[in-house]
């Protein structure tokens, strides 16, 4: 019988009724969430907790993973361990690791999918789990390769969505406004670092006050993903914006403290910059893809369009592999074809 049907007896007669598959999924999702909440306080064994902590330390110290990646991997592993608790009916210990089967990992990913996790998130989760079990084997702590038999969810091939030169210029110079002048100037300085120097938002907000670029020292030494260090130039307009921000900032900027502060004097959150851009999207006619990271994409795409060498762009972005940078050639090719279709008389039919 169809999975979307149920049997019912009405007045002594058997009837088949169609159910709402989305409703079934919603019930399963609610059940999963309730179970997870009921079990999330179950403690791991001391030995397993220690092993997890050592793995996370390994990701930072030896693999050079960024804090954001390390936190994401740690969260993925904790979610799996919580799910595993449900299957065992008790808190797992290290000895249980060797008895894990592929169906446990598949069941976990299925439960995450019912919670509307995207394929990209599921692929990262699987990468985190594979990393953990690979490390366990390398350290001769435990050996279980069941996770390797689980297929990686397909992630659609995405192409960066940069802004046009005109839209990017308007956004970083005139787009961000606030009731307080120092906040407007601060946000402008951050956006100029993203578009003018190709920084990630975490890199810009991770700058210390004594690392701020000056007219005498117009470069930044950035430690990016994987601990890869690079030197990036800073435009005069960006330096001017940072100087103006430092003059107007109502809070003292400690030399070893963050350069960019929030409205209450604490470190500036990336979310504040994301919201500032979201507020001006419609007024400036910007697409939904206009985000802080889109300015980094714009930096690379506009340099490539102007004739910059792909290797140079790789160094400026801090990509470990040239193949990562080559994705911008696809953006450039798409734009070239669009111009051709719009301008060539034969293309217009």
Report the candidate in 32, 34, 31, 35 with the shortest Cα–Cα distance to residue 89. Answer: 35
Closest CA to 47 of 99, 104, 88, 97: 97
- CB-based burial, 282-317: b 16+ in 10 Å, e otherwise: eeeebeeebbbbbbbbbbbbbbbeeeeeeeebbebb
- For 306-346, where are the alpha helices, taking DSSP H only? 310-317, 322-325, 327-343
* Cα 59 to Cα 73: distance, rounded to the nearest angstrom: 9
d(CA 288, CA 297): 15
Six token digits for residue 307: 């004739």
- Apex 172 CA angle, 167 and 173, nearest 5: 100
User: Count of residues for the chain?
Assistant: 349
User: How far apart are alpha carbons 240 and 185 in whole angstroms?
Assistant: 10
Residue 288, token pair as written in the block: 């939904």
Q: Which of 28, 63, 225, 281 is catalytic?
A: 225
Q: Which of 124, 200, 297, 302 is catalytic?
A: 200
- Residue 208 annotated as catalytic: no
Tokens read off for 150: 């689980």
Mark whether 157 is an active-site residue: no
Instruction: Please tell me whether residue 285 adopts helix, strand or coil conformation.
Output: coil
Query: Is 228 annotated in the active site?
Result: no
In the three-class reduction of DSSP (H, G, I as helix; E, B as strand; rest coil), residue 89 is classed as coil
Where does residue 171 rank: exposed (0-12), middle (13-18), buried (19+ CB within 10 A)? buried
Give yes or no: 296 in active site. yes
Give the three-class secondary structure for 231: strand
297 is catalytic: no
Residues 6+ apart with CB under 8 A from 255: 208, 209, 210
Q: Contact at 8 Å (CB) between 186 and 30?
A: no
Biggest distance spanned by C-alpha atoms of the chain: 91
| Catalytic (active site) residue 195 | no
Residues acting as catalytic residues = 200, 225, 293, 296, 319, 328
């Amino acid at each position: 019988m169809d999975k979307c049907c149920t049997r019912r007896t009405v007045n002594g007669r058997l009837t088949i009724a169609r159910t709402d598959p989305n409703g079934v999924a919603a019930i399963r999702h609610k059940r999963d969430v309730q179970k997870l909440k009921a079990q999330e306080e179950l403690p791991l064994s001391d030995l397993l907790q220690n092993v997890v902590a050592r793995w996370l330390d390994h990701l930072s110290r030896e693999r050079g993973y960024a804090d954001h990646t390390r936190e994401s991997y740690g969260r993925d592993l904790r979610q799996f361990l919580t799910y595993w608790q449900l299957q065992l009916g008790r808190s797992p210990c290290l000895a249980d690791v060797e008895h894990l089967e592929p169906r446990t990992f598949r069941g976990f990913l299925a439960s995450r999918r019912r919670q509307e996790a995207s394929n990209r998130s599921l692929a990262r989760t699987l990468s985190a789990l594979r990393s953990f079990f690979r490390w366990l084997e390398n350290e001769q702590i435990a050996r279980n390769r069941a996770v390797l038999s689980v297929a990686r969810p397909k992630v659609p091939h995405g192409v960066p969505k940069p802004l046009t030169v005109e839209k990017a210029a308007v956004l970083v110079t005139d787009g961000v406004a606030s009731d307080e002048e120092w906040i407007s100037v601060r946000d402008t300085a951050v956006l100029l670092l993203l578009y003018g120097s190709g920084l990630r938002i975490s890199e810009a907000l991770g700058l210390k006050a004594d690392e701020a670029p000056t007219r005498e020292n117009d470069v930044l030494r950035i430690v990016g993903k994987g601990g890869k260090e690079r030197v990036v130039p800073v435009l005069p307009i960006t330096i001017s914006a940072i100087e103006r921000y430092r003059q107007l900032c109502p809070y003292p900027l400690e030399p070893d403290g963050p350069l960019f502060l929030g409205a209450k004097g604490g470190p500036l959150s990336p979310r504040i910059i994301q919201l500032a851009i979201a507020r001006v999207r419609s007024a400036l006619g910007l697409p939904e893809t206009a985000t802080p990271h889109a300015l980094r994409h714009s930096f690379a795409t506009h340099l490539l369009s102007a004739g910059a060498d792909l290797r140079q762009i790789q160094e400026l972005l801090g990509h470990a592999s040239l193949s990562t940078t080559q994705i911008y050639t696809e953006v450039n090719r798409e734009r070239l074809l669009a111009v051709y279709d719009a301008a060539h008389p034969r293309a217009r039919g």
